[in-house]
Amino acid sequence: MAIYFVNNTENVNNIKLNCLFYFADKMSIKEYVFPISRQDYFAYEYGPSPVSIRNNIINAFNLNDIFIKNSDGFFNTIPGIFFVDGEFCNNDLTILDSIINEFKTIT
């Protein structure tokens, strides 16, 4: 999901990525009872954060194997890293696209 969000929205940083996950999971729970990310959430000072992303950031992994930060502090996907849509059903992709359309340009 993180790759999909970074590739399809603008100005993604840690906080925006957490928000995108949260809103996608919220919409998925509302529509289909289960969160897309299958994650538990941590109460972070800037809002809810999926535990696995929060843990990766805390452990200094900082998503560096997938993303690089540009000079403005926003993420770009490392060349050669691609989103695998076969891991998501059509309903999941519809939700992801809906979240992207709503928050694409918001920082």
| DSSP H helices in 1-107 | 2-8, 14-32, 51-58, 90-103
Which three-class secondary structure state does DSSP give residue 61?
coil
The alpha-carbon radius of gyration of the chain (Å, integer) is 13
Rounded-to-integer distance, Cα 89 and Cα 30, Å: 16
pTM for the model stands at 0.75
Helix, strand, coil shares of the chain, percent, nearest 5, are 50, 15, 40
Q: CA distances (Å), 39 to each of 11, 19, 84, in order?
A: 23, 13, 18
Reported as a single tens digit per residue, the pLDDT across 86-97 is 888 899 999 999
* pLDDT over 90 at 1, yes or no: no
* Mean pLDDT taken over the chain: 78
pLDDT of residue 41 exceeding 70, the answer is yes
Least confident of 15-24, 33-42, 67-76, 94-103: 67-76
Collapsing DSSP states into helix, strand and coil, what is residue 37? coil
Cα dihedral 10, 15, 19, 20, rounded to 10, equals 40
